[in-house]
Amino acid sequence: LPWTGHDLGFPTLYASAGFSLIALVSTMNLVPLLGPTFVERNLKGRDRLKRNQLEMCLISPLLFLFSAPESMGLICASIYALLLTLFIPFLFTDILRPQENPGALGSPLLSVAREQFPHQQLSVYLSALLCLLSATILGFLDDVFDIRWRYKLPIPLIASIPLLLVYHAEHGNTHIVLPKFIRNVFGHSVVDLGPLYYLYMSLLSTFCTNSINILAGINGIEASQALIIALSIALNDLLYLPLQFSLDFYGFTFGGVYRAGMALGSRELVERHLLSLYFMLPLIGVCIGFLRHNWYPARAFPGDTFCYFAGMAFAVVGIIGHFSKTLLLFFIPQIFNFLLSCPQLFGLVPCPRHRMPRLGPSNSPFIYPSTVDFEHPPRLHTRLILSFLSLLGFTRLTRHPKTKTILSATNLTLLNTVLVVRGPMSEERLTLECMALQVAGSMIAFGIRYGLAGIFYDG
Ligand code: UD1
Ligand code: MG
């Protein structure tokens, strides 16, 4: 099979690591190079959390008139998709396998016997690439045309169809294992969700793309959350590989073979996680390269293109790697942000166009939670929701001193909640605190996946 590491030396994995390095260097260089062209074509955005033109020009002369190039995710996505395409020969031919009889078959590219060609695996790979490209197009169209929610929500659902078909062809699992304490109620331990499981996986693609896009608005937040999720997925994949290591410590050599994947007994499992790594490593490179320009003070904005393509990359590996439930565990901050946002997304509480935090008084270096203001007293259901969320500490309400009606509430996002709980802080610090939350989320995810699973499930 194509994505095994031949002889467990994983030459393809090393090639992928090399591609990741190319991704990093190309993104780092192309973003500042092509940024001005984007601004020229009016693909630019105003940094809403910077105070004045002088401040911006000190940051970079590129930022004339407060604007930074927007939709830079297009460059990231293009580099990523190009590299994944260039990687195909490394995966599906013997290009990396030492030639026993060099010259006999001509170029190594031709050395794949036609009857042995792994069509099935190639279709998995190509359908994943198709999904990524659809997400990139959708993101870019959203950047240019600001598509309405009701139109853009179903597109990732449709884009995931080829992938779901491939999952079906691979006899993908549609079962969920019930925790021990629920088994007594249902009488059996495994439930086959059938078509519902496919619905869940296609919803996953919509969730992953949009959840990154709505946890946005401060410098570096989109790229850093994508980076931490990609690193967590890659780390989880590494746990399944039979890795060899040796460590030199003051002349003593410790060595061994770490065989977690093999211990779990399945070569298929190792291959799935290898494939997931091939998708994650270049993404990590792209995110680091982009963060170099998107970090506070940002000289480039990711736009919806970045959020959509990165989100889709996660959904894709979750589906083709058959670990969609573990994947969701790495989205704990995004799930919280989505659930908290629901009242605003579904119109129960008014939703302004931008919900990102706001600048404070002119002498303050900090940013503050942004608010939704009520000209008229809010309706009963809005009052109930906001009072409940304020009781939990997720939003802060301002009430009329006499009548006690709600005058304003901080917008329902994770960023504003962090500011409500921890107090005003600088934009850079808020990004760092959110990154810490994302890392903590991943640690909890690993704890649940590998620690707590034993309490709820057998073996
Ligand atoms: C989503 C959020 C919106 C948030 C916005 C920020 C929902 C429903 N929508 O909208 O609340 O305000 O993302 O991206 O939650 N910008 C900055 N600094 C940054 C990044 C972006 O000021 O570090 C501003 C720029 O003006 C940029 C704009 O945000 O042009 C991009 O907004 P856009 O991605 O179009 O917003 P949405 O994704 O629609
Ligand atoms: Mg956006």
Residue having the nearest C-alpha atom to atom 14 of ligand 1: 217
Q: Is the CB of 219 under 6 A from ligand 1?
A: yes
Q: Is the CB of 49 under 6 A from ligand 1?
A: yes
Q: Which helix (H) or strand (E) holds 320?
A: helix 303-320
ipTM field = 0.98
Angle between helices 73-86 and 303-320 (to 10 degrees): 40
d(CA 98, CA 210): 44
Ligand closest to CA 66: 1
Q: Is the CB of 222 under 6 A from ligand 1?
A: no
Q: Is the CB of 307 under 6 A from ligand 1?
A: no
CB 237 within 8 A of CB 280: yes
Helices (H) and strands (E) in the chain, counts: 20, 11
Q: Is the CB of 430 under 6 A from ligand 1?
A: no
Q: Is the CB of 416 under 6 A from ligand 1?
A: no
d(CA 43, CA 442): 34
Residue having the nearest C-alpha atom to atom 30 of ligand 1: 45
CB atoms within 5 A of ion ligand 2 belong to: 213, 304
With H, G, I as helix, E, B as strand and everything else as coil, classify residue 306: helix
Residue 216 CA to ligand 2 center (angstroms) comes to 7
Residue 47 CA to ligand 1 center (angstroms) comes to 10
Q: Is the CB of 304 under 6 A from ligand 1?
A: yes
d(CA 283, CA 14): 15
d(CA 427, CA 416): 12
Which pLDDT belongs to residue 457? Answer: 64
With the most atoms of ligand 1 within 8 angstroms of its CB, the residue from 211, 304, 354 to mutate is 354
Q: Is the CB of 48 under 6 A from ligand 1?
A: yes
Residue 209 CA to ligand 2 center (angstroms) comes to 10
Residue having the nearest C-alpha atom to atom 27 of ligand 1: 45
Residue 140 CA to ligand 1 center (angstroms) comes to 14
Specify the ligand 1 atom closest to the Cα of 215. 15
User: CB under 8 Å to 53, separation ≥6 — which residues?
Assistant: 65, 66
10-residue mean pLDDT profile of the chain (459 residues): values are: 51 90 98 95 91 62 68 98 94 66 41 67 92 95 90 86 88 78 72 89 94 96 98 94 63 56 62 92 98 95 97 96 93 98 95 95 91 94 97 97 95 98 97 98 94 69
Q: Is the CB of 218 under 6 A from ligand 1?
A: yes
With H, G, I as helix, E, B as strand and everything else as coil, classify residue 79: helix
Facing residues of 406 across strands?
399
Q: Is the CB of 47 under 6 A from ligand 1?
A: yes
Residue 115 CA to ligand 2 center (angstroms) comes to 46
With the most atoms of ligand 1 within 8 angstroms of its CB, the residue from 74, 141, 301 to mutate is 301
**Which pTM was predicted?**
0.91
d(CA 441, CA 331): 7
Residue 54 CA to ligand 1 center (angstroms) comes to 23
| Helix intervals (H) in 178-266 | 180-186, 195-213, 221-238, 260-263
Q: Is the CB of 217 under 6 A from ligand 1?
A: yes
With H, G, I as helix, E, B as strand and everything else as coil, classify residue 78: helix
What does each C-alpha distance from 46 to 65, 299, 370 come to in angstroms?
Answer: 8, 11, 17
Specify the ligand 1 atom closest to the Cα of 344. 8
- CA angle centred on 46, ends 296 and 433, rounded to 5°: 30
Ligand closest to CA 428: 1
